[in-house]
Structure 1
């Protein structure tokens, strides 16, 4: 019984069309025996070399089979539908590929030196395997491969190959630049094993296994995948599988599932985007903003399920994030299977994750916390923003040179971490930037050698005794608060960079330990104990206590204190000299004590009324100046004219001889001297104390050279 479109009484006309197509075909495509008439007549074909079928326009359904030894090329402009399985092989002289089963107790299959194609679909033609059933595949299966059947009949697709099968199947090694498409809702599974040179587009309508424990998959030349079903990536034991193509979705309900075996890893370097144009052959998105805008019936919602896998987004050569979107347009699930999952971000520029990582089932991301950990890899330029509150229960590691930002600094882009999980902690060896605009952040268990920056208007609170990071703490904007025993005792430097910067030290106060600095222009709320270096310009909304180990550096104006002031330790006279020389000040306020109590104590060697020689002017220090309790320096001798000769300027830079009881800036500088600050008036304008002056290069156990050496005492 004839069952194809062209098996009618008009067969002569169809054959005439075939002849015309054959004549028009290029010489290379015309090679081989033409069996078009046999196919149109539904006769079985035995191959005995290179064989050609020229498919006329429309659809031709073939109920016969191909067998024998040879190759089959399908060309023309129509569609050839195969309804029965065919089995043939290449002639022996053309067979060269080696198939090996490796891995011992964990076997996996490798194919090397692949055979040339046994089947070729020429440009313009369509070959369809099956008609919605379980048969219609061309294949030969001589290999004893574990858990899947490896097809020996490799295929080249420059036209279209349609996989209309409900069974599990393998196509061998694929090449060409056309389209391989699988209709939706058939639930057939394509085991896409091995390494392929195919450079066209894959349209997955149901299920593709691009890697399994029994084989690795490599598709280095594939440009795009239109994923309208489930694309599953897995690895053999200890193997890395890289998927470099862009994925697109056109309809609701597709996802990418990622798994890996112990020691295995999956690297995804492209993007998973919605597609609103380009059809099957060239899926594309007209506007990147559509990935972040909910569409009708959720047709642009797509997701990934990471199932106990080691997954990396990016390979350090791109800054296009794998899942562009928001909680309304994408979902990301981090699950535990054989082990907890690990997701690493490896980009060479800024990327933004606009959706939460959770652990629910498919679209229901927030039904459970994600079971896994996150790493921001230390690739130069890797700058990752979490613009959504995350819901995974594990650790977050920021490698050296990498940046993690919580919040993007814009309305609707606040971020955060789930802090209640047993595995929660932050290992920050790079830069952690807190940039929420309205949602308050609360973080704990922060360790590592990296820096922390508060840059958003919303308050960030650090809690608990496990805040132990050692990098610099910077408050650029908003408030950074310390509660529940949290301190910054291990942070090497604390900087409040603007008048609106606020550090709320709580009832425990802030202790600036040896070798550490507190600088800037903002406000510290709470008591400050200075055992290290504090720079003027700050406001302490609380008590200020400077121990004998502490040092006050005059920078950006006086230190302003609203509580009690207790003084000991050093005053950096070189910095004071720079200030005095820059503006020829007659009076310099060191501590602006805004509270009502009396300032107690004094800087080492600088009792009430002691004289200091700064540049070419003698000053007297007072601890009851200003409104009665400020620390001030008042000039007691006139400054010489600015028209001094070069020799006078040199003598001024060297400093006048010290009279008994008079402190000098150069003596106070411990041998370095204060001359770098006062070489010329032009150099002094806008001069700030170098950072190296704050630490003074001394560690524990080192002798204090000091700004107040014995010479001046």
Structure 2
């Protein structure tokens, strides 16, 4: 009993002491993460029961154990931890929140919303390596019934380095952080990067990365750069648009970007695919952008893209950095057919130059076959695309309203062109098509649309066939624009030759200037011209000139020079001559350089007829100059009327039987046509010249 009593008393004392401690001790603090470093260094398996940390010493630590259980794993330190066996653990149930759905019905694809927090974290300075060049070493848990790939439930945050040394197919779940994820070259493991990721660091793709598939879309909105040293593949589920906004860089020969898409889908690439010669793995860059256009030793700067039956767009209208900068020696572009033909759209807000051909061969052998697809130059303001290489795709080229396509850069080595063989070739031009080759002759056919065509290169462009039907204005600034094999400019609403060196070769079929059309400028038309519209003087016609009763010849910028036969009818407009500061004693309207007699006459102006030009009376002759020129010779001079009493054909100051240069009775005459042409082509007939004060009337068509 004493012993029992003593024991009871002792117990009572102990309880009292505990009670006292409970009253006076500070509140309990939760235990920190478990440190499993010793277990890992000893190759013991680790069962997680909450947050766990491993501190990796400098150097390399190979771990042959596995992680299991419930919790999180954080790798820190300065060394590299290599996992050689697959590990499988999960977050505690209380932290799991993400929802994984399989949508799309008969075309299933996977989405992840509200992703779980990371199950694995690699802190800055540490390296975690999955695998050792084999098929195992991945950390993951795969509870989902997803089609075609296994979605990893264990999301990962990488602020240090994650090295993927695996030869199997794998998924990392949702990735976050700002570190480096790197896959060594030539391992042929395939990483399925599914869903939307907040990761803002660097991905070094050494072998194969699938950034999208028919079963999932990929979004990396915070990434600025990718180092691509293998194959980066972009694909989409049915009916979705995927945007890749980062710049791609490459250091070694043999890398490419493959793009695929499903019906109704589109892939938009807004960055640039460039060579890198500095910055290492974490910040690749190019010291001089011009190096993308110059072959480097052993072709180390050659890179390519394969568009496989996809709808692809380069740019989003907010940049003018072309996606593939380079030439045929530094880049290749293949437009291929898979489920359907490919479509490539250019959407930039400034000038860009495509220096390489688009073909359809195998990898760098791009010209082994024509590209199977079509090209669109989108109508974004400022979108000005130059093809500085002859293109080798077999489909259509569409230039939308507001856009510009230039064939040729206008510099040596920058000549362009289109592959014109096959039934799929055509140009739909609703914007501006500029032909700017310096040495290589161009040949085009099947040009439709409402846009303009400008010949500005030193070499010859030939339009062939009856399918040249565009309705916009035609301008020849430099070189020769030739028409052959039935090609005409009958539907072009205005034709302008802007310099003495401009040349329009219309061939044996001649040029017909139809009603409502305007032919003007200073250059040479090689071939016969039939005028039922408006022609301005200052041109040279190396052929015959026939003006119908509906035609009009406008006197401006010197005479119309004609080497062939001349047949005249219709109107003579002296508006520009009437606006001259000082009247000339003799004005040559048409310099007929051939030997044949000029036949016909302008309406109401037979040989010797008088006409008034400002305050001077002229007589017209069709036998002037060397015997067959059309010449106006001053006969008399009369005082100018005051500005308050504008002169008309009925003005008493005009002598009887004299026609006055002035507004055609009852209408505006030829001015609607010339004004329209001036707005479209920048004609050098400014509206302010039509009446410069001093009592002059606005000029118009000669009144019959």
Aligned counterpart, 1:707 = 701
Deviates more, 1:465-474 or 1:87-96: 87-96
Displacement of 1:633 after TM fit? 1.3
Q: Which residue of 2 aligns with 1:584?
A: 583
Provide the C-alpha distance between the structure 2 equivalents of 1:55 and 1:102, rounded to a whole number of angstroms: 42
User: Is there any run of 5+ residues in structure 1 with no aligned partner, and where?
Assistant: 1-29, 676-686, 695-704
Deviation of 1:574 (Å): 2.4
Do residues 224 (structure 1) and 225 (structure 2) align? yes
The answer to whether the aligner puts 1:180 opposite 2:174 as a matched pair is: no
The Cα shift of 1:44 comes to 1.2
- 1:262-290 superposed Cα distances (whole Å, 9 cap, x missing partner): 11111111111111111111111111111
> For residues 59 and 700 of structure 2, what CA distance do their matches in structure 1 show?
94
CA distance in 1: counterparts of 2:489 and 2:32, whole angstroms: 79
The answer for the alignment partner of 2:35 in structure 1 is 34
Matches within 5 A, 1:67-216: 67-216=68-217
Shift of 1:583: 3.0
Displacement of 1:31: 5.4
Change (3 A) 1:630 1:435: same
The aligned counterpart of 1:431 is 432
Contact 2:670 2:701 (8 Å CA) reproduced: no
Distance 2:647 2:295 in 1: 69
Secondary structure (helix, strand or coil) at the match of 1:235 reads coil
Tell me if the contact between 1:570 and 1:706 (Cα under 8 Å) persists in the aligned partners: no
- Whether the 8 Å CA contact 1:398–1:404 is kept in 2: the answer is yes
Alpha-carbon contact 1:313-1:321 (below 8 Å) kept:
yes
Encode CA deviations 1:408-453: one digit per residue, 9 max, x unaligned: 0011110010000221000000000000000000001100110100
Check 1:673–1:521 CA distance in 2 against 1; reply closer, same or farther (3 A cut).
closer
Structure with bigger gyration radius: 2
Q: In 2, Cα distance between the equivalents of 1:203 and 1:653?
A: 82
Classify the secondary structure of the residue corresponding to 2:204.
Answer: strand
8 Å CA contact retained: 1:670, 1:708: no
Alignment of 1:273 onto 2:274: yes
Provide the rounded CA distance (Å) in 1 between the counterparts of 2:486 and 2:688. 31
User: Contact conserved, 2:555 with 2:575, CA < 8 A, in 1?
Assistant: no
In structure 2, the residue matched to 1:352 is 353
Between Structure 1 and Structure 2, how many residues are aligned?
653
**8 A contact 1:73–1:122 mirrored in 2:** yes
Pairing 1:533-612 to 2, within 5 Å after superposition? 533-578=534-579, 581-612=580-611
Q: Contact 1:574 / 1:669 at 8 angstroms: preserved in 2? A: no
* Structure-2 change in CA distance of 1:112 and 1:667 (3 Å): closer
CA deviation after TM superposition for structure 1 residue 671, in Å: 5.0
Q: Which residue of 2 aligns with 1:400?
A: 401
Q: What's the CA shift string for 1:242-266, capped at 9, x where partnerless? A: 1111111111111111111111111
Partner in structure 1 of residue 623 of structure 2: 624
Q: Which residue of 2 aligns with 1:637?
A: 636
Partner of 2:661: 665
Pair 1:648 & 2:648 matched: no
Q: For residue 67 of structure 1, report the CA deviation from its aligned partner.
A: 1.1
CA distance in 2, matches of 1:659, 1:639: 10
CA gap of 1:155–1:541, structure 2 versus 1, over 3 A, is same
**SS of the residue aligned with 2:94?**
helix
Residues 447 and 468 in structure 2, CA contact (< 8 A), matched pair in contact too: yes
SS at match of 1:401: coil
Offset at residue 33 of structure 1 (A): 1.9
The alignment's TM-score, normalised by the length of structure 2, stands at: 0.90
CA distance in structure 2 between the aligned counterparts of 1:421 and 1:510, rounded to whole angstroms: 28
Contact 1:605 1:708 in 2 (8 A): no
Query: What is the deviation of 1:652?
Result: 6.1
Instruction: Identify the residue that residue 320 of structure 2 maps to in structure 1.
Output: 319
Mapped contact 2:661–2:700 kept (Cα < 8 A):
no
Alignment of 1:415-564 (within 5 A): 415-564=416-565
Q: Distance in 2 between matches of 1:674 and 1:560?
A: 21
Residue of structure 1 equivalent to 2:693: none
1:288 and 2:289 are equivalent in the alignment = yes
Q: Cα offset for 1:659?
A: 3.8
Question: How far apart in 2 are the matches of 1:394 and 1:674?
Answer: 41
The alignment's C-alpha RMSD in Å is: 2.0
CA contact (8 A) 2:463 2:481 kept: yes
Structure 2: runs of 5+ lacking an equivalent: 1-30, 672-682, 691-698
**Paired residue secondary structure (2:636):** coil
Q: Is the 8 A contact 1:555 1:688 kept in 2?
A: no
Pairwise CA distance, 1:96: 1.0
On the 8 A contact 1:470/1:491 being kept in 2, the answer is: yes
Inter-CA distance 674–286: structure 2 relative to 1 (3 Å threshold): closer
2:23 aligned partner = none
d(CA) in 2 for partners of 1:356 and 1:254? 18
Deviation at 1:607, TM superposition (A): 1.2
- Give the superposition deviation at 1:89: 1.0
Distance 2:661 2:515 in 1: 23
Q: 1:7 matched to which residue of 2?
A: none
Listed one character per residue, the Cα deviations across residues 58-108 of structure 1 (whole Å, up to 9, x for unaligned) are 111111111111111111111111111111111112111111111110001
The 2-side partners of 1:372 and 1:520 are apart by: 39
SS in 2 for 1:637: strand
